[in-house]
Structure 1
Amino acid sequence: MLYIFCIAVSMAMVQGWYKPHPGTRFQWQLEVDGDYPLDYSMHADMYDTDLWAVTSHDIAAIHAKGGKVICYFSAGSYDHNRPDAHLFHSSDIGNKMDGWDEKWIDIRSSNVKSIMQKRMDLAKSKHCDGIEPDNVDGHESGNANIGFSYHDQLVYNRWLADQAHARGLSIGLKNDAEQIKELHTSFDWALNEECHSNDGGRECLLYQPFLDDNKPVFNIEYVNSKHVSSDMKRKCTDHHPLGMSTQFKLWDVTAWVYNCPGQ
């Protein structure tokens, strides 16, 4: 098994994987169903959407127009609505996530890692170009509280990046801003939610290492309606490292988007 994994790593290194650059036009749509089909008519280079909801037809259509597809899944939580929910052991599942109908999971579990490998295999089989693993910051105070440490989170997140690259998949670091100094070299891009609202906007500045590596940083700021006030638009420049891309989305992350001017 180790021999096969090493071959996979070698092949991925030779073939390479998708590495977006600052200025890449990003479209994020996680709400995909009968009421909200995936809209791939957007003026975007990189479409980030749900691993299970995206279809082979969607992916082929995006590839035909020269775009790339990033497939989203949670790497740090249990959701009973997911098709593979039955694979989790009761010992893998921890506290309920604040504000969500999901529960944190124990990232030290070998079974959890096996499930994440299967999810990455599914992304590869569907011809996704990369993955967006969510909830990779369970170590932070008030989150999982099930015994794993800052160091455990680093080990797990680096493991996710290595596993993605072994499959020829690009991978983005979702939030987890406090570990950027240790993780920016392992990940290909970053996706942040609401850094302008955290620590007076100074959280945005923590993403400079990605930009120094010539890797894009996509910042999402949420609005309650399809109207972005002039006050909200200040986030396009306030606490905004040169090269970061900011856009506004509704909380349910449908296709609607407002991109900051020039981005």
Structure 2
Amino acid sequence: MLDPTVEADVFVLDPVATTAAQTTELRSRGRRLICQVYVGSVHPDDPDAGRYPGPVRGTTSSRTSRTWLDVRRWETLRPVLADRFRLCRGKGFGAVLLADADGYDHGSGFPLTFDDQLEFNRRVAALARSLSLSPGLLGALAQVAALAPNFDFAVNEECVRLKRCAKLLPFADANKPVFHVEYTGSTTDFCVTSVGYGFASIRKNRTLDAWRQPCPPPP
């Protein structure tokens, strides 16, 4: 459950579950709001799930119950994504975080290539900008080097534990924020590593409740 009193500068929130009243309160506290949108997949509980026709639906993940989409079908996907972004903007979000932007690497059920995904991700970033939203990239580490010029920030989970933080340096080197989280249950002392890379890092519970433990800033 959202706790607006948490002393965090940036909140990453679901645009459907979060109300306009909540975003208004957060903005009154000076918080920056990022709207997380699944651009490469659809869940049966999504309010707009019926707008994705059968031909653009691929395999379904047994872990998340999300169905991968054929990102080559831009003319079909664009109107749905544009409306999702308008929902974010209407609720007062200033940025959008692209989730599941790496279907080509996950057995989507379509013969997607690296370049297919790259073109789609760039198009979605441009769409966000056209709607006055700052685009951010979640994960998709294999494409970070190519996509960093198109995005304003990155969000990453567990790059220290997985030894992948160096892949995010194109953002840090361009003075673009990298928001990074490691989860409880790991004994990894990650702050020295992640702060050394210039990331804004915290530890959280995997349940993504309000608790957070930020890394100290560099001296």
- Which residue identity does 1:193 align to in structure 2? E
3-state secondary structure, aligned to 1:70: strand
Shift of 1:132: 1.2
CA distance in 2, matches of 1:58, 1:239: 31
Query: Which residue pairs with 1:135 in the alignment?
Result: 100
- Same amino acid, percent of matched pairs: 29
1:251 and 2:212 correspond = no
- Which residue identity does 2:50 align to in structure 1? H
Greater alpha carbon shift after TM alignment, 142-151 vs 154-163 = 142-151
Structure 1: any 5+ residue segments left out of the alignment?
A: 1-35
1:152 and 2:116 correspond = yes
Query: When the two structures are superposed, what TM-score results if normalisation uses the length of structure 1?
Result: 0.78
Across the aligned residues of Structure 1 and Structure 2, the Cα RMSD in angstroms comes to 1.7
Q: Choose the corresponding residue for 1:168, options 126, 132, 138.
A: 132
Q: Choose the corresponding residue for 2:67, options 82, 91, 103.
A: 103
Shift of 1:239: 6.3
- Which residue identity does 1:138 align to in structure 2? G
- Which residue identity does 1:180 align to in structure 2? V
Q: Choose the corresponding residue for 2:173, options 212, 223, 244.
A: 212
Shift of 1:83: 0.7
Q: Is the 8 A contact 1:108 1:156 kept in 2?
A: yes
Query: When the two structures are superposed, what TM-score results if normalisation uses the length of structure 2?
Result: 0.92
3-state secondary structure, aligned to 1:164: helix
3-state secondary structure, aligned to 1:48: strand
Q: Could you list the per-position Cα deviations for residues 16-58 of structure 1 after superposition, in whole angstroms to 9, with x for gaps in the alignment?
A: xxxxxxxxxxxxxxxxxxxx2x111121222111010111111
Shift of 1:181: 1.2
CA distance in 2, matches of 1:98, 1:173: 24
Query: Which residue pairs with 1:115 in the alignment?
Result: 80
Q: 1:261 to 1:239 in 2, by over 3 A?
A: closer
Q: Is the 8 A contact 2:194 2:201 kept in 1?
A: no
1:173-212 matches, cutoff 5 A: 173-198=137-162, 201=163, 203-212=164-173
Shift of 1:150: 0.4
CA distance in 2, matches of 1:262, 1:42: 18
CA distance in 1, matches of 2:212, 2:14: 17
Q: Is the 8 A contact 1:204 1:240 kept in 2?
A: no
Q: Is the 8 A contact 2:195 2:217 kept in 1?
A: no
Query: Which residue pairs with 1:22 in the alignment?
Result: none
CA distance in 2, matches of 1:241, 1:113: 38
CA distance in 2, matches of 1:64, 1:80: 34
Q: Is the 8 A contact 2:195 2:215 kept in 1?
A: no
CA distance in 2, matches of 1:99, 1:249: 21
Which of structure 1's runs of 4+ aligned residues deviate more than 6 A? none
CA distance in 2, matches of 1:98, 1:104: 12
1:68 and 2:32 correspond = yes
1:49 and 2:49 correspond = no
Shift of 1:87: 0.7
- Which residue identity does 2:123 align to in structure 1? W
